[in-house]
Structure 1
Amino acid sequence: MAAAQASQTNGVPDNSVGKSGANQAEKSAWTVESVLSEITPRYAENTDSPVPFFHLLERLKTTKRAGWRRFGILDCESISDHMYRMSILTMMAPSSIGSKLDILRCCRMALIHDMAESLVGDITPVDPVSKEEKSRRESETMDYICTNLLGKFNGGLNGKEIRQIWQEYEDSETPESLFVHDIDKIELLVQMVEYERSSKCERDLGEFTWVAQKIQSDEVKTWAEQVFRERQEMWKQAGKTPSWRADTEPKATS
């Protein structure tokens, strides 16, 4: 599977290849049950009600995005904040790309793609967790959500759909999933500029700019270029020079 290949953008490029076996202790220690054992009261399982699932979603509202916290932004966006704006951005797809996609499915995918982080947490590339281990944790969490919490609700149909859409995003093969991966990246870049602006350019988050080079669609690339020119002008007005990664700094126009 292509899981996590394009999704670990909440920080720096993932250079963890070759570290297999380095995280064996963590692999054996982390289970869905190990997380659930610390939650009181536990979510009611195998019921015909979606309410236990509703309660689990609260964790997405209260769990902060870890990449920003590394930069001292403690009161940063939550996972839900990120997914909500992503879902809105999918609806802004211009006709050049929107006419080729199932935008409703993209919107659903944006709202589902980080759902496993409700129990796994927001693992970034700088954390000592391999892509394979991250994928295992998230896959087992989605199995728990869609089977133990939603398996008996409405004949299990809702849970099956959520699981399928999440897997589609992870596999990164359909046009919809590739577009939502692009949306994941542009949302990050927009938030990056907003945090720099709120700090009056005292905080340089240029480490994240490399993400733009992973965007595939021309339409979202155009958005990224607009965001970067906005950033460039913002720092110029502040009389400062920001950092850029992977040759992403906009070139001067003639």
Structure 2
Amino acid sequence: MEMKNERLERQFDFCREIDKEKFIGRQTYLSDGQRKENDAEHAWHMAIMAILLSEYADEKIDVLKTVTMLLIHDLVEIDAGDTYAYDEEAAKSKRKREEAGADRIYGLLPEDQKQKLRALWEEFEEWETPEAKFAHTMDNIQPLMLNAATEGKSWVEHGVHIDQILMRNRKTAQGSEQLWEYAFHNFIKPSLDAGKIRTE
């Protein structure tokens, strides 16, 4: 006998749909430099980093809320695609594409969960709460770490300039000054000194 439960059906529809995040490619290489990560790998990595590094947050944060924010905020890219950090042209339409993705993807859920996840996504985008600030710190530092691990492979491929990196990270310290300082001196500066990041 087939059991029907509309709420459960909608939840599983969402769970099936978000499997597509595994197909959304990013420009950051995995630590062995052999292939680039996908959005789901990026989200998993940041979530664990947030758990481990939450002690360095400049303000007290709800770790579970922050982890949830990190796990769900890129789901909109199933529809919108990943916008490379240094692609200025694609950035112009990013918000519109991602809002449409948020409407459709979070809209698959029961109304209460749709509102909760959509609100978390908006909170991340607004970059104002302690959790959003720390989530952005993770979102920005994770690719810096992997770029450093691959000797700046992605930065070299895209001809990234130090000014672009600093502009991209102009608010990274808002979540954790200590983690930003560590990332700059251990991830960015060695690549800069090695000529992997453009200065001219």
Equivalent position amino acid for 1:242 in 2 = K
Matches within 5 A, 1:146-161: 146-147=106-107, 149-151=108-110, 156-161=111-116
Structure 2 residue aligned with 1:110, among 41, 46, 70? 70
What is the match of residue 3 of structure 2? none
Q: Distance in 2 between matches of 1:76 and 1:96?
A: 28
Contact 1:204 1:242 in 2 (8 A): no
CA separation in 2, counterparts of 1:53 and 1:221? 35
| Matched AA of 1:159 | K
What letter matches 1:82 in structure 2? H
Partner Cα separation in structure 1 for residue 91 and residue 142 of structure 2: 24
Distance 2:180 2:145 in 1: 13
Q: Kindly provide the amino acid, as one letter, of the partner of residue 183 in structure 1.
A: M
* Structure 1 residue 142 corresponds to structure 2 residue 94: no
Name the counterpart of 1:182.
137
Partner of 2:182: 223
Identity %: 24
SS at 1:77 equivalent: strand
1:196 paired with 2:151, answer yes
2:16 to 49, 52, 55: 55
Unaligned stretches of 5+ in structure 2?
Answer: 1-5
Question: Normalized against structure 1, the TM-score is what?
Answer: 0.61
Kindly indicate whether residue 127 of structure 2 is the aligned counterpart of residue 168 of structure 1.
no
Please, which runs of 5 or more residues in structure 1 have no aligned partner? 1-46, 247-254
Superposed CA deviations along residues 5-47 of structure 1, whole A, max 9, x for unmatched, are xxxxxxxxxxxxxxxxxxxxxxxxxxxxxxxxxxxxxxxxxx5
Change in CA separation of 1:119 and 1:223 when aligned onto 2, cut-off 3 Å: same
Q: Deviations over 1:75-95 (max 9, x none)?
A: 310011111111111112353
Shift of 1:219: 2.2
Q: Take 1:168 and 1:244, find their aligned partners in 2: how far apart are those partners?
A: 34
Secondary structure of the structure 2 residue equivalent to 1:243:
coil
Q: Does the 8 Å contact 2:192/2:198 carry over to 1?
A: no
What is the aligned-residue RMSD (CA, Å)? 3.2
- 2-side partners of 1:98 and 1:91: how far apart? 15
Match of residue 97, structure 1, among 48, 51, 57: 57
The aligned amino acid for 2:197 is S
Q: Which has the higher helix share?
A: 2
For the residues of structure 1 that align with 2:98 and 2:69, how far apart are their CA atoms?
15
Task: Tell which structure's C-alpha radius of gyration is larger.
Answer: 1
Aligned partner letter, 2:126: D
1:113-158: per-residue Cα shift (whole Å, max 9, x none)? 1110011111235263353x321221121121222x113xxxx222
| TM-score scaled by length of structure 2 | 0.75
* Residues 22 and 41, structure 2, Cα contact 8 Å, conserved in 1: yes
